[in-house]
Structure formats: structure tokens, C-alpha cells
A and B are shown apart, each in its own frame.
Chain A
Amino acid sequence: MKSSMNPRAHSPHKVIKNLVEAHSWLGLIISPLLFIVFWAGAITLFHDEVAQWAITPHHPVQSSQQDLPLATLVEQKQAEYPVDQNGRFRINMPTELVPYYIFYMEIVDDLAENGRQSLAILVDPKTGETVAGKDDFLLSQFIYRLHYNLHLPGGSYLIGIVTLVFLFALVSGVFIHARKLFKHFFQYRVDKQRRDNLLDLHTVVGVMTLPFTLMYALSGLVLNLAIVFQLAFAMFIYQGDQQALFNDAGFKRVVEPRSQTPMAMDNAFKLIEQTRQQDNFELRNVIFHHYGADNALVQVRGSDTARFGQRDEVTYRIANGAVVDKVNAEQYNVFRQGRDVLVTLHFGDFAGMDVRILYFLLAMAISAMIVAGNMLWINKRRAQRHASPRSIAIASAITMGGCGGIIVATAVGFLCERLLPATLTARGDWLVACFVVTLLVTMLVSINISNIKRHISRLLLLTSALLLMTLTADWLMFSEQIITLWQNGFTAVIGVQVAMGLMAAIGVCSALKLRDQKHVNSSDNICHPLIN
């Protein structure tokens, strides 16, 4: 009955018009989260560089000293902490950028619900000292978590849904723009009298980054929302046997209870060393199962430096050195291989710094495209007579406060990472608190802004000022260490500083340009929306 009264129900379907409506409506809703994903993702491309910048000035590693044997370090940490031997024990190897071992252990804790808790520590490979808790220098990890789960429990599913909508926005964008996709490929009209600069920016960036965004959307879905199809397969194909599904997908698990017979673990370190010596193998981490028992296993994982996206893994039974499971270029599983290729493409860590810089620029361009899309929606609404001022105010606050707030909060995060004392209890929590408070305050002051360009200009100037303060603090607090680190080959500290300086300069230039534009064209529809 109701549908017969709806004139749209019987009219022909206006496919493009409907898709435009959906594209802009959904785009506006997911925009703050999508902006966080791309902004944080862009910085995460330099996760290890940021970690080196944060940690090494506090805890420099003496490059001239010999590394202690891994076996000695493991025995030392086993004695130092009440390690729960039923849990897994993982060690990430030091790298050129992060020169510490990272030990992940389960330790006995009577206060915890299940009687144990996870512990991750950074260990100096030269002295064996525990340098810090992994989350004490949280910035790089926090930004990474923002990227994939917003640092919230269950956040990865939310980001998965956002990614799904993003993929829809890409597909609908292609339909909407299909006729002009090739003809207007690079069209960006610079005529200042025109009002469609934002539209040009949105479409040009959208078209040019399409292969990149499609890859990101699909790989992001595989990483965050694969559980949907995993459950479907497990329920309807494997009749509830999840382990059989994992085995077929190339993620075999050896499930056996811990033996009560103790055994020395010397052979494990020989096996690790023997695997490390293999051609084209870069050791990344090792995982012990049932450490110290006679049925202990060691999983040695790394990457094949001669092949794209190839991750090698071998699991040994420590007692006799027998290979329990092996994955490499010869013995591979198509699902796992395909997933590894997608993950490698997603992280952009397959061809050095230049590819990561390219990824960074593309991600920044997409962040700008997201903001431009929102501005288009706001401008269009302001031009309509019966548009609700409340919805426009909310959209403005989301765009300015959400997107602008993330930028300012990131700069605050960098400043806190440098200024907070290394020994401060719950240092990571303080950093997160500062980040969240900055974001909320920026969102609050962004409500009911009449002059959007001036507001953006102020936010950019504030961000630049914060970055310059961080740079100054760097040199006031750690000038000697920074120079020594540079001399010892830890160049990422100064690299991050250069990046911060560049971002500050770009921020100041953009802010000044936005201010100038106000004088050039004071009747701009963005500056004075109510005129429209």
C-alpha cells in the first residue's frame, strides 16, 4: 500500500542518480574513519623508522660490541621473569631499523583472570638488558593500531565494514564517472572563478589512485573481514571443523599437550642458526612451543629475499631436529601464498624506501580526496534552500573536527613521545590520553565554524608549530645521542626529523595560501556559505 503511494516505486530506476546519492551519503558517514585509516596507514608505512626515532635516543645500542648468543638471552629472560611454559614464547629478531630483540612471553600473574598475562619487552642484543616494555614507546604501534582497529576492542571488524563501504564507493565512483573516465583523466581546472575545483580534485585523485585504492580495499578486507567467509566455509563446507579449514588454508597447528619431561634447548638454537644460514632467507622471528619440554617445537619464520611476497616458515621438533611443517617457494599453499602477496602489496615493504614514499603520497592524496568529497557534500547542501543547518553543522564538525583533529592529534602524539619521561609509569596510556583529548578538543572547537578556510589554516599552523616544537625538543634533549646514532648508521632518527620539518613547512605554506585565498575571493561559497 505504502509502495503504491511512493512515486519512485514505479518509475524507471535512475541508476546513476541513485548511485551518486549512495556514494555521497555513505562517503560522508565513513569519512572520519576512512580518513583515520589512510592517515594512520600513511604514517605506518614508516612504522620502524618512527620506532627508531622514538626509542634509540633513549637507549642507544653499541654497534661496536658483539651480539650475545640468543640462547644466553633466552635463558637469562627465562630466569628473570615467571614465564608460563604452557604459553607460546616468541622472539622478533633485531633489524637495521629496530636494533632490539622483542620477546613476547606469557608470564604467571595471580591477579589476572586466567592466571597469566602477556608481556612484550625490548632486549638489547649486546648487553642482554631489558631496555623497555614494548608498549612504553607506543607511538608507532598506536598509529598502526589506529590504522587497523582504531585501538579499540572489536575495532578491526568496524574498520572491515568501513573498508567494504569504501570498496563500494570506489565501484560506484567508477560507474558515476565512467563516461569521462578516460576523456577527463587528468582534468583539473585551475580557473579561480570556478566552483568545481573540489570536484576535480576528488575525481582526479579518485581516478589516478584507482588501482592503488582497489588493491588497498581488497587486501584490507582480506585482513579485517575474512572471518565472515571463514565462518561460512567452516560451518557449511567443513561442518564445524575449523582446524581442518586452517590446515587446508596452509595454517597448520600442532596441538599436543606439554610433556612433563624436561629437556635442554641447545639444539633449538642450532636449528635456528642453521635455518638462518640458508640462501635468500631473512630471519624475522622464532616461536617456541612447550619451551624446555622434550616435545618442544620451534617455528622459524622469515622471508625469501629473492621472491616477491614469499614468506618461508619451518617448524622443527627440537629433540631430533625433524621437520614437522614447512612452507617455502617449493612447498606452498595457494591460499596462504595469495594472502601473503596481498599483505606484501598492502604494506608496501617490497621495494625499498622509494615505493613507500610513493605509497605515502598516494595515501595522503586519498586523505585529501576524502576531505574534498565531504566539502562537496557540505557545499551542495548549503546551496539547497531547505537543507537542515543541523546536518550541515554535523558534517562540518565531522570533516573539520574529525579529519583536522586527527592531524593535530598526531602531531601531539609525536611531541608526547619525545617529551614524556622514558621511566614514566603507563607511558603509553599517557600518550593515548593526550592524543584522544586533542582529538576531542579539536572536534569541539570545530562545531559551528563559519569560516572553514580560516579554521583549516589555523589547524595547519598549530600542527606545524607542534612538529617544530618536537624537532626543537629532539635536539635540546638528545643532540649528542642523535649525532652518535647517525654516525653508527641509525639514520632514521634524522630521517624522521627531516620528514617532520617538511610536513611543518608544507603545513605553513598551505595555511598561508588558504589565508591569501580569503582576500582574493571573499565571496567564495566555502567562506560564506549562507550567501548560497
Chain B
Amino acid sequence: MWLKSLAAFVWGLLLAVCLVLLVFRLLPLGVDTKLLIGMLLGFCLWVTVMAYCYSRNTAKAASIVCGKWFAVTAVANVLLFYIPVY
């Protein structure tokens, strides 16, 4: 359970941050609105990923899926990094 907890916490954090940053860059709303949505959505995503990780039989099974998602979202963030958004 400790390994699963580590996977849930770390992948939850990384994916939540990556997805929230993507949402921030892509949503066509005011900066203040995006900040609020980002923060609330961030915690919800973090917990969703945690729930996903804990629902798998092993930490490895959870990590494989989360790792792929992280790679995709991280690459998307890197590509969008140089586009000014505020």
C-alpha cells in the first residue's frame, strides 16, 4: 500500500499540475477566472488520479498508465511554454 500511495500522490500531483497548466493555456477566459478554475480543478484532478491509482491492483499498473498520460501532457506543455498567455 505504501508504494501505491507514493504512486498515487506523485502521479496525482504531476498530472494535476500538467493538466491545469494546459487548461490555463487553452481556455479562452479572463486570467482571474482561469486561476480560480485552475486551482479548484487541480485538486479535483489530483484526487481523481489518486482514486485511479488506488483502484489498480498494483502501483506498477497505475504508474504505467499515469506515466503515459504524464508524457503526453508534459510534451504538450513544453510545446506551449513559449506562447505568452497573460
Residues of A whose CB lies within 8 Å of any CB of B are: 3, 6, 8-9, 11, 13-15, 18-19, 21-22, 25-26, 164, 167-168, 171-172, 175, 218, 221-222, 225-226, 228-229, 232-233, 236-238, 244-245, 248-250, 333-336, 338-339
Q: Which residues of B contact A218 (CB under 8 A)?
A: 40, 43-44
Q: Is the interface of A mostly helix, strand, loop or mixed?
A: helix
User: Closest CB of chain B to A262's CB: distance in Å?
Assistant: 38
Q: Which residues of A contact B54 (CB under 8 A)?
A: 18-19, 21-22, 168, 172
Q: Which residues of A contact B39 (CB under 8 A)?
A: 222, 226, 229, 335
Question: Is A171 touching B4 in the complex (CB atoms < 8 A)?
Answer: no
- Count how many chain B residues have C-beta atoms less than 8 Å from C-beta atoms of the other chain: 38
Question: Is B32 touching A249 in the complex (CB atoms < 8 A)?
Answer: yes
User: Closest CB of chain A to B15's CB: distance in Å?
Assistant: 12
Known: A19-B54, A22-B54, A168-B50. A232 touches B35 (CB 8 A): no
Q: Which residues of B in the span 33-66 have a Cβ within 8 Å of any Cβ on A? A: 33, 35-36, 38-40, 42-44, 46-48, 50-51, 54-58, 60-61
For residue B70, CB closer than 8 A to chain A, the reply is no
A171, B50: Cα distance in complex, Å: 10
Q: Which residues of A contact B51 (CB under 8 A)?
A: 19, 168, 171-172, 175
Question: Is A18 touching B57 in the complex (CB atoms < 8 A)?
Answer: yes
Q: Which residues of A contact B8 (CB under 8 A)?
A: 168
Sample 9 A-B pairs with CB under 8 A, ordered by A number. A18-B55, A21-B54, A164-B43, A228-B13, A228-B42, A236-B77, A244-B86, A334-B35, A335-B35
User: Closest CB of chain B to A34's CB: distance in Å?
Assistant: 15
Question: Is B57 touching A171 in the complex (CB atoms < 8 A)?
Answer: no
User: Closest CB of chain B to A122's CB: distance in Å?
Assistant: 35
For residue B11, CB closer than 8 A to chain A, the reply is no
Question: Is A248 touching B57 in the complex (CB atoms < 8 A)?
Answer: no
* Cross-interface CB contact of A171 among B13, B20, B47, cutoff 8 Å: B47
Question: Is B5 touching A167 in the complex (CB atoms < 8 A)?
Answer: no
A226, B43: Cα distance in complex, Å: 9
User: Closest CB of chain B to A9's CB: distance in Å?
Assistant: 6
Question: Is B43 touching A26 in the complex (CB atoms < 8 A)?
Answer: no
Minimum-distance CB pairs A-B, first 5: A22-B54, A334-B32, A8-B57, A338-B36, A335-B32
Q: Which residues of B contact A339 (CB under 8 A)?
A: 36
Question: Is A6 touching B58 in the complex (CB atoms < 8 A)?
Answer: yes
Question: Is B13 touching A22 in the complex (CB atoms < 8 A)?
Answer: no
Known: A167-B47, A334-B30. 10 other contacts (CB 8 A): A8-B58, A13-B55, A18-B54, A164-B46, A218-B43, A228-B13, A229-B39, A248-B35, A335-B35, A338-B36
User: Closest CB of chain B to A340's CB: distance in Å?
Assistant: 11
A221, B43: Cα distance in complex, Å: 8
Known: A164-B43, A237-B85, A248-B86. A232 touches B58 (CB 8 A): no
Q: Which residues of B contact A221 (CB under 8 A)?
A: 43
Question: Is B43 touching A237 in the complex (CB atoms < 8 A)?
Answer: no
For residue B76, CB closer than 8 A to chain A, the reply is no
Known: A232-B17, A248-B32, A248-B86. A237 touches B24 (CB 8 A): yes
Cβ proximity bits B1-20 to A, threshold 8 Å, 1 near / 0 not: 10011001000010001001
Closest B residue to A161 by beta carbon equals: B9
Question: Is B47 touching A229 in the complex (CB atoms < 8 A)?
Answer: no
Closest B residue to A29 by beta carbon equals: B5
User: Closest CB of chain B to A31's CB: distance in Å?
Assistant: 15
User: Closest CB of chain B to A6's CB: distance in Å?
Assistant: 7
Q: Which residues of A contact B47 (CB under 8 A)?
A: 164, 167-168, 171
User: Closest CB of chain A to B70's CB: distance in Å?
Assistant: 14
A18, B5: Cα distance in complex, Å: 12
* Cross-interface CB contact of A229 among B20, B77, B85, cutoff 8 Å: B20
User: Closest CB of chain B to A230's CB: distance in Å?
Assistant: 8
User: Closest CB of chain B to A127's CB: distance in Å?
Assistant: 45
Q: Which residues of A contact B24 (CB under 8 A)?
A: 233, 237
Known: A25-B1, A218-B43. A9 touches B57 (CB 8 A): yes
For residue B31, CB closer than 8 A to chain A, the reply is yes
Q: Which residues of A contact B31 (CB under 8 A)?
A: 248
Closest B residue to A14 by beta carbon equals: B57
User: Closest CB of chain A to B37's CB: distance in Å?
Assistant: 9
User: Closest CB of chain A to B60's CB: distance in Å?
Assistant: 6
User: Closest CB of chain A to B47's CB: distance in Å?
Assistant: 5
A249, B60: Cα distance in complex, Å: 39
User: Closest CB of chain A to B57's CB: distance in Å?
Assistant: 4
Question: Is B43 touching A167 in the complex (CB atoms < 8 A)?
Answer: yes
User: Closest CB of chain B to A248's CB: distance in Å?
Assistant: 5
Known: A18-B55, A171-B47. A26 touches B5 (CB 8 A): yes
Question: Is A225 touching B21 in the complex (CB atoms < 8 A)?
Answer: no
Question: Is A13 touching B61 in the complex (CB atoms < 8 A)?
Answer: yes
User: Closest CB of chain B to A323's CB: distance in Å?
Assistant: 20
A232, B25: Cα distance in complex, Å: 13
Q: Which residues of B contact A338 (CB under 8 A)?
A: 36, 40
A172, B54: Cα distance in complex, Å: 9
Question: Is B56 touching A222 in the complex (CB atoms < 8 A)?
Answer: no
A245, B24: Cα distance in complex, Å: 13
Question: Is A249 touching B35 in the complex (CB atoms < 8 A)?
Answer: yes
A226, B1: Cα distance in complex, Å: 27
User: Closest CB of chain A to B51's CB: distance in Å?
Assistant: 5
Which of the listed residues A22, A26, A333 has the most CB atoms from chain B within 10 Å of its own CB? A22
A119, B2: Cα distance in complex, Å: 44
